[in-house]
Amino acid sequence: MITPEAKKTLTKQGYRVVGNHSVVKVCGWTGSMIRGDGGCYKLKFYGIQSHQCMQTSPSLSCANRCSFCWRGYKAPVSKDWKWEVDNPEMIINKSLKAHKNLLTGFGDNKNPNHTAHEQSKTVKHVALSLTGEPIIYPKINEMINNYHERGISTFLVTNAQYPDEIKKLTPVTQLYLSIDAPTKKLLKEIDNPLFEDYWERMIKSLENLKKKKERTAIRLTAIKDLNMCEPEKYADLIKIGNPDFIEVKGYMFIGASRERLEKSNMPLHEDVVEFSKELDKYLDDYEIASEHIRSRVVLFAKKKFKKEGEWHTWIDFDKFHELFKSGTEITTENYLKKTPTGPGLSGRGTKDRVDAKFRHKIQKY
Ligand code: SF4
């Protein structure tokens, strides 16, 4: 899948290529957490320990060429898998090793959080969402189960182009579907899909998402002046997928997307909130549950996860692993955890104060 030249470029960009088709890169939030600068929004929303998270992908290839993606247009694209298939055990072992090596320098930082740095040596979560479409790796189910057997939780993000693979997918800790536009015409413009029947594939993917028993989420990447429109049509799509959570996340002007979009396409957090409030009007079963200013993201959760006035959006990871080991059916309700409140979750110092200030604002709605 990968040429020596492409491997060299990826390595320069901080990636480590594993085997024939997998990559690992340390997430900026993992570093931020080790520096004592706060974790990612998935810590605040779901309890992911950002310093113990490995960001990886078992496939460098994708069937879309999304305008907002940090991948360059030279990155491999394909509708089907056509490469030699690496063994999941090998990929996981080598990825964990590469991740650990990449983290070595973080402890030398002037002001590291030593406990977090020590803990970062034990990976507890894997985000299968770095680059490329993870679901097309033919041994994805074996890989997911292997992670779970090691006590590592899995988040997988798919581009909604492989409905059959979604159907066949073994339960992950949290399954994401990306919905990048409210209409067929706009989806083509934004995602540049390889499949002719990209819209039908997305609808079928949403239908299959609805049948999943584990935690599911739909992610909307909000691009200013491009797809922050027609909230009622987004709501119609969301209702087909019936996810447990919805994330409305502002586009970030990074990587190769800078060649395709403008900095002005990056919405402010306030823009994301305004758009979320519009969307909220069409989603009776959901409520805005949280937000993370640094990531410009708003979380919607099903109202039923608010029990006696308190949100339960966090994941009980011990319970999840217990369910996996015992072979008990994995259902969202079975591994929910109360969402803690108060400062300290998304940063420290001024960053917390900013978050607290904003929380007041959002609580008005
Ligand atoms: S969950 Fe995502 S954003 Fe958070 S630390 Fe892991 S890879 Fe980074």
Task: Give the residue, by CA position, lying nearest to ligand 1 atom 6.
Answer: 53
Domains with residue ranges and CATH for the chain:
4-362 (3.20.20.70)
3-state secondary structure of 127: strand
Position in ligand 1 atom list of the atom nearest CA 155:
1
List of E strands, the chain = 16-18, 22-25, 53-57, 125-128, 153-158, 174-178, 215-222, 245-250, 286-292, 297-302, 306-307, 310-311, 314-315, 336-337
Position in ligand 1 atom list of the atom nearest CA 27:
8
136-185 per-position pLDDT tens digit: 999 999 999 999 999 999 999 999 999 999 999 999 999 999 999 999 99
Q: How far is the CA of 127 from the centre of ligand 1 (A)?
A: 6
Q: Is the pLDDT of residue 351 over 60?
A: no
Predicted pLDDT at 233: 98
Q: Is the pLDDT of residue 331 over 50?
A: yes
Task: Give the residue, by CA position, lying nearest to ligand 1 atom 3.
Answer: 40
Position in ligand 1 atom list of the atom nearest CA 130:
7
Q: How far is the CA of 105 from the centre of ligand 1 (A)?
A: 19
Q: Is the pLDDT of residue 273 over 50?
A: yes
Ligand 1 pocket: which of 24, 26, 27 to mutate (most atoms within 8 A of CB): 27
Mean pLDDT of 318-343: 93
Longest Cα pair distance anywhere in the chain, in angstroms?
Answer: 57
Predicted pLDDT at 111: 59
Ligand 1 pocket: which of 42, 51, 123, 299 to mutate (most atoms within 8 A of CB): 42
111-127 per-position pLDDT tens digit: 567 888 889 999 999 99
Residues in contact with ligand 1 by the CB-under-6-Å rule are 27, 29-30, 40, 42, 48, 50, 53, 55, 127
253-269 per-position pLDDT tens digit: 988 899 999 999 999 99
Q: How far is the CA of 63 from the centre of ligand 1 (A)?
A: 23
pLDDT tier for residue 72 given thresholds of 50, 70 and 90: confident
- Token couple for 211: 């049948």
Quick one: CA torsion of 111, 116, 117, 122, rounded to 10 degrees? Answer: -170
Q: Is the pLDDT of residue 349 over 80?
A: no
Within a 10 A sphere around the Cβ of 277, how many other Cβ atoms? 15
Mean pLDDT of 56-69: 91
Predicted pLDDT at 130: 86
Q: How far is the CA of 269 from the centre of ligand 1 (A)?
A: 19
Q: How far is the CA of 200 from the centre of ligand 1 (A)?
A: 30
